[in-house]
A and B are shown apart, each in its own frame.
Chain A
């Protein structure tokens, strides 16, 4: 019998998403394991956010097989097990950081006493304890996105889906947040799916999914990827794969003609 913890957090087979008349995700197969950080990298507009929305169950017109912890993505029992951060900070601007967290904690069904400690912990995790009582409308862009991240940390989710959580943050904060992600992954055995279009963040992930125009063009760990492509950085590896693909497409195009 398969051990439950061997089962991946996310399992996708033939995942397709149509938006309007456009195929945004084109038959993806991938697994996201527990206890690891999986980086989703690719240029903006390649379908990263759509993939994440499909995983959390907010994307319409998803076909194919997509399960989270063995349940169909978006099903009700999963809603308290996933922490989700959208690209734009989705918090109430006319509430303080603490009031935002208190409200979302109540929605997650965290008991009051417990909620208080969790809110404090989440504020500390994103280094916003000093700004807890400030109206979020008055916070800087980076602080605002950290409030949004703190919301996703509530309730100790087993899966964190983070859509470009470190955009616009200074290097010190970025390092601290990545340390936090690593701590969450190792201590809680949580799965983390994090997207970025900044390739240097790829080096901090356990595993990488490289995406380009709705398809996954590489699924590997950073070291293996660099070795396989014979490059010094993930960025160079990515560019090499893209160039090879483009060349193949041109060749195919001329063969048809």
Chain B
């Protein structure tokens, strides 16, 4: 790993985005708009808004970063820039860390906006510290980046890359406890939900929502999300080949 090359890559990714203000606006403000919509949907049902809203705060960064990373790395692969970079003295870890850092910065801004809006404007009552919500959001963003990088290796076009979103994200969304409590699910489904990382992300959000202190469950959830993210990042690194056919 080389800090200069990692940071140069982060700066480059952010510069690319700066030339695309519409994408930035959508990344930053769509989650906030959705939360307002949710607030109106659950008009007066404070309890439901709290738990669904908190879950969504964990889900948004994952979806956004999954999409941007899978498309961005697919572009690197198809435009030849990845081949050029790997023919240069760039470590794969520098490449991945550069991307992860750039999207983590975006995720922090996105999550700060959404969380701030939820807690202060929409009166979401969070027992724990809102900062912990940000920590979970950041880990989810990392997980989204990792999954996006990994699946981009299996997509040969941008059409395919976006189709991976429902494939990878929707099952997690359905089974994460947002629609039905996980312990009330049919045992097979519950078992599946137990191995999907988003379940733990949503669980962590709800821990912060209900407990004033940092609970052991919260720490376990965060560790699982972070662990899966790092594992998938390593798998993603393995798909970056210097030599290709």
**Chain B residues in 8 Å Cβ range of A58:** 83, 86-87, 242-244
Flag whether B19 is at the interface (Cβ < 8 A). yes
CB of B239, distance to nearest CB on chain A (Å): 14
Closest B residue to A84 using CB positions: B87
A-B contact count (CB 8 A): 84
Flag whether B184 is at the interface (Cβ < 8 A). no
0 or 1 for each of B1-30: is its CB under 8 Å from A? (1 = yes): 010110011011001100110000000000
Interface size class of A (residues with CB under 8 A): 20 to 34
Of the stretches A38-46, A103-111, A208-216, A239-247, the one at the interface is A103-111
CB of A111, distance to nearest CB on chain B (Å): 10
A109 CA to B90 CA in the complex, in Å?
A: 9
Flag whether A57 is at the interface (Cβ < 8 A). yes
Closest A residue to B11 using CB positions: A103
Set A59, A60, A107: member contacting B88, Cβ < 8 A: A107
Interface size class of B (residues with CB under 8 A): 20 to 34
A106 CA to B83 CA in the complex, in Å?
A: 17
Set B4, B16, B87, B243: member contacting A106, Cβ < 8 A: B4
Would you call A79 and B83 a contact (CB within 8 A)?
no
Flag whether A19 is at the interface (Cβ < 8 A). yes
Flag whether B84 is at the interface (Cβ < 8 A). yes
Would you call A90 and B79 a contact (CB within 8 A)?
yes
Flag whether A93 is at the interface (Cβ < 8 A). yes
Secondary structure class of chain A's binding surface, majority of residues: loop
A92 CA to B11 CA in the complex, in Å?
A: 13
Would you call A106 and B8 a contact (CB within 8 A)?
yes
CB of B56, distance to nearest CB on chain A (Å): 30
Q: Given that A60-B241, A95-B15, A95-B19 are contacting pairs, would A80 and B80 also be in contact in the complex, using a CB cutoff of 8 Å?
A: no
Would you call A109 and B4 a contact (CB within 8 A)?
yes
CB of A172, distance to nearest CB on chain B (Å): 27
0 or 1 for each of B69-109: is its CB under 8 Å from A? (1 = yes): 00000000001110111111110000000000000000000
29 A-B pairs with CB atoms under 8 Å apart are: A56-B87, A59-B243, A60-B243, A62-B243, A79-B87, A80-B88, A80-B89, A86-B83, A88-B79, A89-B80, A90-B83, A91-B79, A91-B81, A92-B79, A92-B81, A94-B20, A95-B16, A95-B19, A99-B12, A103-B9, A104-B84, A107-B5, A107-B8, A107-B85, A107-B88, A107-B90, A108-B89, A109-B2, A109-B4
